[in-house]
Chain A
Amino acid sequence: MQDKVFISFQNNDEARPVIDAIMEDNPTAVLSEMPAMVKIDAPMRLVVRRETIEKNLGRAFDLQSIHINLISLSGNIDESEDEFILAWGRR
């Protein structure tokens, strides 16, 4: 079994375009819903892309504002304006 990274968000309207974008950009990701939250697990690597969120949202989006509805995560982080990556393995 490959080690999983995860990211978790509050299940609300503001987070939904972000959650949808993650599921779109990470075909191996698995979404679990629990009361008030979602947890997304993916083997080894997961990417959050600004472009996909903006397409879903129909407006500009500052990737750092995912902090507002973020609950938790696991994995080594690499963050830029365009992508937020969680991964296991050498950085």
Chain B
Amino acid sequence: MAVKKASLKEKYRLMTRGLDWETTYQPMDKVFPYDKYEGIKIKDWDKWEDPFRLTMDAYWKYQAEKERKLYAILDSFSQNNGQLNLSDARYLTAIKLWMQGITPLEYAAHRGFSHVGRQFRGAGARVACQMQALDELRHAQTQMHAFSHYNKYFSGFHQANHMRDRAWYLSIPKSFFEDAMTAGPFEFVTSISFAFEYVLTNLLFMPFVSGAAYNGDVATTTFGFSAQSDESRHMTLGLEVVKFVLEQHEDNVPIMQRYIDKWFWRGYRLLALVGTMMDYMLPKKVMSWAEAWGVYWEENGLALFNDLSRYGIRLPKYHEIATKEKLHITHQAWMVFYTACPATAFHAWLPQPYEMDWLSEKYGETFDRFYRPRFEKFGDLEKAGKRFYTNRLPLVCQTCQIPDFFTEVDNPMKQAVRHSEWRGMKFNFCSDGCKDIFVNEPEKFCQAYIPPQQIYQGNAGGARTLAEYAAWLRCGMGTESGDYYSSDDYANWLKWHGERDTTPSSSAAAQP
């Protein structure tokens, strides 16, 4: 008699239940020491269900197919000199930032999920974390493979690990993930799978990666969408964790709400970098940050929170501030990159006239009134051979580690600064959101390793100036750092395309 094939639901149950056991010669609490101290109460781990019902055998099958497709495309891209078909080499600043800032987060996520996969006592949750740990390792590897082709032709792609531990702007993503990885297992999964992946990563992997396609970067498009297909599983896991925990005990609700508030704000701050990639680093534009925020947060994010309201969860604190700020943050961040690029491993530039017009169209009066005049002033300085570079180290937010350049939400002419005292020390923040996070966990955040303080204390190879600091990063003006139009990348790009420099800002070669 033929054996009846198990249904998807049965198969999932068979593959994720009964894999574990109640320990006998050691108490369960000693075997799983971390899953209770956050105060989260779990009555029945068997209520956990992965909505995708993906079993390990199906996982291997589909991941292998994704990899085969991806590597065929990466091979074809490099064999056909795909780098020459990019819209413009300026585009690669976004990809350098990805390699330096985002790829290490994939690896950190791999470590984080390996850790919490060990710490949850429910087998269903452990299986999901195991798959995600493997996914994240795959993302780190495929991204490095994709970018290794660009490393042959452009500067700034080498030594990402060296940079990660030294570059001031990379302490922003690094501290984000280290905060998550040093939290309890429920906070980790809420921070990464729910707040970051469900609520926010669509903004990176959908409009930005679509923009990569539009700018001729087949390699990034392919690994980006390939990674995001895993992300849809992770997002689903994130939502499942939140619902599972909320259904287990009513005492869990305020704890989860605090995690959601904290990690929405931390993730949103981190995404200022992504917004800047979309608005300023894509030579061919697809969607503005403000539009993407409208679609992926104001429509899709709010729908998600409407659904969660029946569990007693409200919208993340300060979400309305994030929505008001959508008209400002990318312009403010790009201005910082423009003036601080002697100390970054990527290039910056003034938006070209067609880009200024696009920004005016997308941001209307906000751009024309507050940001266009500053870019025009910078343009006048360039024409006079006095390209402006900043020469001092900024005040940095103790929580998100972003230099303090954001403005008051109702007054874009006033820099926003908040302070808090703790054990006789004064700490500075960029926003109420970041200050609240500190006030909830001062013991943790007082230890943050803040780049400007460390530089002044001599912990950056003794560097006292931006130039010395750049040398310690192993970056040089014109190669890895500085204005795009005075870089080797630009000179090579013209040479490879048989073109002469005709840009109005080509006189931007003045040194800081």
Q: A79-B51, A79-B52 are in contact. Are A71 and B62 (CB under 8 A)?
A: no
Residue interface bits B285-315, CB-to-A below 8 A is 1, else 0: 0110000000000011011101100100000
CB <8 Å contact, A81 and B304: no
Select the stretch in B200-208, B333-341, B475-483, B503-511 that faces chain A.
Answer: B200-208
CB <8 Å contact, A72 and B7: no
Q: Is B231 an interface residue (CB 8 A)?
A: yes
CB <8 Å contact, B8 and A69: no
CB <8 Å contact, B62 and A65: yes
CB <8 Å contact, A80 and B286: no
CB <8 Å contact, A34 and B207: yes
Q: Is B228 an interface residue (CB 8 A)?
A: yes
CB distance from A86 to the nearest CB of B (A): 10
| Contact size range, B | 35 or more
B428: chain A residues within 8 A (beta carbon)? none
Q: A37-B210, A64-B58 are in contact. Are A72 and B205 (CB under 8 A)?
A: yes
Select the stretch in B232-240, B418-426, B450-458 that faces chain A.
Answer: B232-240
B307: chain A residues within 8 A (beta carbon)? 3, 76, 88-89
Q: A67 to B230: give the CA distance in the assembly, Å.
A: 8
CB <8 Å contact, B303 and A5: yes
Q: A71-B228, A72-B231 are in contact. Are A4 and B62 (CB under 8 A)?
A: no
Number of interface residues, chain A, beta carbon within 8 A = 30
Once A and B bind, how many residue pairs between them come within 8 Å at the CB atom?
96
Residue interface bits A22-43, CB-to-B below 8 A is 1, else 0: 0000000000001111010000
> Which of B69, B221, B302, B304 contacts A68 (CB under 8 A)?
B69
Q: A60 to B166: give the CA distance in the assembly, Å.
A: 53
> Which of B7, B214, B303 contacts A4 (CB under 8 A)?
B303
CB <8 Å contact, A78 and B51: yes
Q: A80-B7, A80-B8, A88-B303 are in contact. Are A71 and B51 (CB under 8 A)?
A: no
Q: Is B213 an interface residue (CB 8 A)?
A: yes
B228: chain A residues within 8 A (beta carbon)? 71-72
> Which of B52, B205, B299, B302 contacts A71 (CB under 8 A)?
B205
15 CB contacts below 8 A, A to B, read A3-B303, A6-B300, A36-B209, A65-B62, A67-B233, A68-B66, A70-B229, A71-B232, A72-B205, A72-B206, A72-B229, A74-B202, A74-B300, A88-B307, A89-B307
The chain B residues found within 8 Å of chain A, CB to CB, are 7-9, 51-54, 58, 62, 65-66, 69, 198, 202, 205-207, 209-211, 213-214, 221, 225, 228-229, 231-233, 235-236, 239, 286-287, 299-300, 302-304, 306-307, 310
